[in-house]
């Protein structure tokens, strides 16, 4: 193919030319958004991410939000604060991160991300850049912030994300007063929220789930039991939506209504108090605790990242020595029972008994020999 001219190796291709484009005319017409993972607090705290919102027309810093990682809920929090402060922009311009763009479609053919769906409901357009230079204003802002903002946080002794978020408005005001450009048009393209737009409902993680014949729905390894009512029986075999809110609340919804249900978690743990209180079931519960320690309790990979709630970042690789619940066999249980029995035998004190003759002789021979106190006559 190379000889025929059908394929040119990448190293032999001419470099791409990225010509500058004109700024947008109005404030709020196009907002460039991106996240920067950096040691913003230097050695005073672990590294975190800073979500930056830059206006394309003026290069103003519109929003700064410190968070643990770049996640959908983190962008929900930052965008909600942005809308509350400035209003709804016309469009957001981002990269092709998984929060903004899906590489494949779901089973229902939907390829829109949760962030894209939320912006669609708010009538905000979203665009993904094909390269970093295409959104160079926010990329260059990262370099400036990694120098100036880090020093400002150090001088003020700020070492937490909450403290940095509280200081961010003052920093943005000073930054914009010094470096912002005047727009071509004085018209502000931001729009207020409509009366029918509820941000609490818009900024949610939604997953479709099918109702089983037993009126159950599975989500994130948790089974939700729908109440047995005539209305819920009509939903058997249908797909409903599971809504997860940023604060961790879960709701089941169908046709715009919340369904009454109760939770049945298959990853429940045995209480330590139960092991102590049950005299006869204590050994059985101890075996259950050992099995639970070897069980992989990580949730599914499709569930949203909950780092904004303090949950550690999920790792794709399984921890060593961990197994899924259905991977345990009878041989694993028998091994735990044998190990527990051997451990109990070692912990039990030995009962005192009569010494053997060898032990007595050894003890007598080990006694020190006393010198005679009588002189021979």
Q: What is the rounded distance in angstroms from the CA atom of residue 345 to the CA atom of residue 363?
A: 28
Task: Look at residue 178 in the predicted model and tell me its pLDDT.
Answer: 94
The predicted structure's pLDDT at residue 99:
92
Q: Which tokens belong to 163? A: 């403290």
pLDDT given for residue 208 in this prediction: 92
DSSP 14-32: PPPP----PPPSSBTS-EE
Q: What's the whole-model pTM score?
A: 0.73
In this structure, what is the dihedral angle of CA atoms 257, 263, 267, 273, given to the nearest 10 degrees?
150
Indicate the domain borders of the chain: 20-179, 204-265, 270-300+326-341
CATH 3.30.420.10 fits domain 20-179? yes
- Helical (H) or strand (E) element with 205: strand 205-210
Q: How many angstroms separate the CA atoms of 142 and 198, rounded?
A: 32
The Cα–Cα gap between 12 and 239 comes to 51
**Residue 359 pLDDT:** 46
pLDDT digits (tens, 9 = 90+) for 134-162: 899 999 999 999 999 999 999 999 999 99
Contact 87, 79 (CB under 8 A): no
Q: Is 118 exposed, middle or buried (0-12, 13-18, 19+ CB in 10 A)?
A: buried
In the sheet where 222-226 sits, what is the strand order?
A: 216-219, 222-226, 261-265
Alpha-carbon gap, residue 307 to 189, rounded angstroms? 33
∠ CA 127-87-303 to the nearest 5 degrees?
55
CATH class of the region 204-265: mainly beta
Backbone angles phi, psi at 209, to 5 degrees: -140, 150
Per-residue pLDDT 10s for the chain (377 aa) are 777 878 888 888 888 887 888 999 999 999 999 999 999 999 999 999 999 999 999 999 999 999 999 999 999 999 999 999 999 999 999 999 999 998 776 655 677 899 999 999 999 999 999 888 889 999 999 999 999 999 999 999 999 999 999 999 999 999 999 999 999 999 999 999 999 999 999 999 999 999 999 999 998 888 999 999 999 999 999 999 999 999 889 999 999 899 999 988 655 555 555 444 555 555 666 666 776 666 665 555 566 777 777 666 655 555 666 766 666 677 777 777 777 777 777 776 665 555 554 544 444 444 444 444 444 44
Q: Which of 89, 102, 100 is nearest to 129 (CA)?
A: 100
d(CA 317, CA 304): 17
């Amino acid at each position: 193919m190379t000889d025929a001219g059908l394929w040119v190796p990448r190293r032999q291709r001419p470099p791409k030319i990225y010509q500058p484009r004109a700024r947008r005319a109005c404030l709020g017409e196009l907002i460039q958004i991106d996240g920067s993972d950096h040691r913003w607090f230097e050695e005073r705290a672990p590294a975190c991410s800073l979500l930056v919102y830059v206006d394309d027309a003026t290069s103003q810093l519109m929003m700064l939000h410190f968070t643990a990682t770049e996640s959908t809920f983190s962008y929900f929090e930052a965008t909600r604060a942005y809308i509350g402060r400035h209003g709804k922009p016309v469009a957001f311009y981002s990269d092709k991160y998984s929060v903004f763009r899906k590489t494949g479609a779901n089973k229902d053919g939907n390829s829109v991300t949760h962030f894209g769906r939320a912006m669609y409901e708010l009538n905000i357009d979203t665009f993904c850049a094909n390269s970093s230079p295409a959104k160079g204003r926010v990329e260059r802002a990262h370099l400036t912030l990694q120098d100036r903002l880090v020093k400002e946080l150090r001088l003020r002794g700020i070492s937490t994300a909450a403290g940095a978020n509280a200081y961010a408005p003052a920093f943005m005001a000073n930054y914009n007063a010094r470096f912002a450009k005047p727009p071509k048009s004085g018209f502000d393209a931001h729009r207020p929220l409509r009366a029918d737009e509820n941000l609490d409902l818009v900024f949610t993680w939604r997953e479709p789930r099918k109702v089983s014949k037993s009126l159950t729905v599975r989500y994130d390894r948790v089974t939700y039991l729908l109440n047995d009512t005539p209305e819920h029986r009509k939903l058997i075999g249908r797909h409903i939506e599971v809504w997860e809110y940023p604060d961790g609340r879960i709701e089941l919804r169908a046709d715009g209504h919340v369904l009454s249900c109760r939770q049945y978690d298959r990853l429940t743990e045995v209480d330590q108090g139960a092991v102590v209180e049950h005299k006869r079931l204590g050994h059985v519960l101890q075996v259950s605790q050992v099995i639970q320690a070897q069980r992989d309790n990580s949730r599914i990979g499709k569930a949203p990242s909950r780092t904004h709630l303090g949950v550690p970042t999920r790792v794709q690789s399984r921890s060593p020595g961990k197994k899924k619940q259905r991977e345990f066999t009878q041989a694993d249980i028998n091994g735990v029972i044998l190990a527990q029995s051997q451990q109990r035998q070692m912990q039990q004190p030995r009962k005192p008994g009569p010494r053997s003759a060898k032990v007595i002789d050894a003890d007598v021979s080990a006694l020190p020999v006393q010198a005679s106190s009588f002189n021979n006559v």
